[in-house]
Chain A
Amino acid sequence: MEKTKKQEIIFAVIKILAYLSVVFLATLLGYIFFRGFKVINIRFLTDVPRNGITEGGIFPAILGTFYLVLVSFIFAVPIGILAGVYIAEYTEENRFTQFIRVSVNILSGVPSIVFGLFGLAIFVNKMHFGVSILSGGLTLGILILPTVIQATIEALRSVPYSFREASFGIGATKWQTVKNIVLPTGISGILTGIILSIGRAAGETAPILFTAATFYTGRLPKSIFDEVMALPYLIYGLMTTGTFPDKQIPIAYGASTILLLLVFTMSIIAIIIRLKSRRNRKW
């Protein structure tokens, strides 16, 4: 009986530790949402900031984040999918493809601030894009590129080989097979990866610190060469350089709530797509 008692206690401890992350998440969301929803209204979402970001809304930051994500999406998604197709479908397992895959893995582990420095040195300074939507979007694009590539490779690898053989069997070429059979079958995995990277790009701060973001600008961006306000940078700025904490911290709660809702929507869509595709899978 001594033995089962010990087991019971240890399993109980494991259970409590496992639920700590739930407690942490619930506390974080509860604490931020409770205060955030108090300041969120139509005006908060559609107005420009006023009086040194102590009043008004955060519309320019929402719009800025949208533009940055859009540029990174346009850059990373086509390139990432095609790179994934090449690695998964057109290469045989050898030293060189291993080298490509290791590079993708290392790239996905590079700290985000290093991407920021790279963007500053190359896009902002060397290519003279300046601190702009273009520089920040490209930096974010390179940051999410490995995720898109990895998701594509994994999705395509999960398509059974017999599907390709059937396609070849009725006379399709390699590219027709990839385009008409493999990609459509693996699309949900690719979509999941893309949606998660959009969430990531929207929430990243370090890569846009010196490449795109500004704490406050009175006007909306007119071209991709303009600097922008962005949700994550706004939160950081309000908490560190803000001079009227009483009025600015509530705005930071509101901005955090919006950012969390945005990122969670992405995650939940990704989870739903994954569950649906698993249920519809017939092989």
Chain B
Amino acid sequence: MKKRAVIEYFLPIFGYIAVVALFAIVITIFTEGVTTFKSYSLWKFLTGTAWRPTEEPAKLGSLPLLVSTCIVSIVAMIIAIPLGLATAIYIGKLANDKVKDILKPIVELLASIPSVVYGFFGIVFIAPLVQKVLHLPIGQTGFTAGLILAFMSLPTIASISEDAITAVPASFEWASFALGASKLETLIHIVIPAATPGIITAVSLGFGRAIGETMAVLMVGGGALGMPHSIFSPMRPITATIAAEMGETPVGGLHYHALFALACELLLLVTIFNVVAEYFHQKFTRMRG
């Protein structure tokens, strides 16, 4: 048996660090968050429709924030899924190599733009544009934030869907062409169904990014705290509320812990969504056989 290098004895420690970090984060957020419910009812937190943490007594109804998060992310997905899929299909199946080599890096660059720059561009360009085109009283709305989020999650959806589409064996397509199917029919009936599990993963990752995104929705969402009336009203999702209020609240108070409780809600939302996505992913993988 050869002697092992000293560093090899320490390697496992580094391997476990990711696990430790994940647990440390989850435990910290939950212990700080749960403290809220020693002095405030969990039921009122989940179902209350007024978030006024600085009033006496504080009102900590998080429902409007949760609804805002859902509205903004769903708007983002309604725009990003067709765009992302079209980009994936175009790069994966329709474009020639030259176009492909230009489009792919462009989509990657889109992914590397910092969220604060998206937020900035949202304020100076997109919000005024939305206001003008849709004749709204203000441009900073849930819809505007969703629109920005759509372009932020588009690269994720496009690149992972493209991997799934190009991974479909060419023999599937040849079989379809041999039966007389057109390129379009093959795409719709053969390629996309075969790539569906991968596309589901792509969409769920994109959705996860939209739910968790902070700066863009904080800057462009409009920041209104009440229950949103429509997708065109200003709103403040969970992430934006944490970012906006944490800086101004004393450490250890009810408000401080309530913001951690919001983070718990956010983590649970992301987890539930991932579990559902995983369920459908497996269901479609099985269906494909």
Residues of A within 8 A of B (CB): 3-4, 6-7, 10-11, 13-15, 17-18, 20-22, 24-25, 27-28, 31-32, 79, 82-83, 85-87, 90-91, 99-100, 103-104, 106-107, 109-118, 120-122, 125, 142, 145-146, 149, 173-176, 196, 199-200, 202-206, 209-210, 232-233, 235-236, 239-240, 249, 252, 256, 259-260, 263-264, 266-267, 271
Contact = CB atoms under 8 A, between A and B. Distances in A.
Contact of A252 (B120, B260, B263): B120
Contacts of B211: 111
Given A25-B106, A100-B18, A203-B114, A86 B239 contact: no
B18 A107 contact: yes
Q: Which 7 A-B pairs have the closest CB atoms?
A: A111-B212, A203-B114, A17-B86, A18-B90, A86-B15, A175-B5, A82-B14
A63 to B, nearest CB: 18
A14 B113 CA distance: 24
A99 to B, nearest CB: 7
B24 A122 contact: yes
B121 A31 contact: yes
B154 interface: yes
A17 B95 CA distance: 13
A113 B69 CA distance: 14
B48 interface: no
B19 A99 contact: yes
A87 to B, nearest CB: 5
Interface in B206-220: 208, 211-215, 218-219
A256 B211 CA distance: 24
Contact of A103 (B19, B90, B125): B19
Contacts of A99: 19
Interface in B109-124: 109-110, 112-117, 119-121, 123-124
Contact of A206 (B10, B14, B182, B239): B239
From B91, B214, B247, name the one whose CB has the most chain A CB atoms within 10 angstroms. B214
Contact of B214 (A13, A86, A112, A120): A112
Nearest to B205: A109
A176 B24 CA distance: 34
Contacts of A111: 211-214, 239, 266-267, 270
Contacts of A115: 25
B47 interface: no
Contacts of B110: 21, 24-25
A120 to B, nearest CB: 7
17 contacts: A18-B90, A28-B117, A32-B121, A83-B14, A83-B17, A99-B19, A100-B19, A107-B21, A110-B25, A110-B212, A121-B260, A122-B24, A145-B17, A203-B112, A203-B116, A205-B114, A239-B120
Q: What bracket does the count of chain B residues touching chain A fall in? A: 35 or more
A20 B151 CA distance: 10
Contact of A266 (B11, B112, B121): B112
B124 A249 contact: yes
Contacts of A249: 124
A109 B83 CA distance: 22
A35 to B, nearest CB: 9
Contacts of B82: 17
Given A15-B90, A17-B87, A252-B120, A83 B18 contact: yes
A56 to B, nearest CB: 20
Contacts of A90: 8, 11-12, 15
Nearest to A4: B182
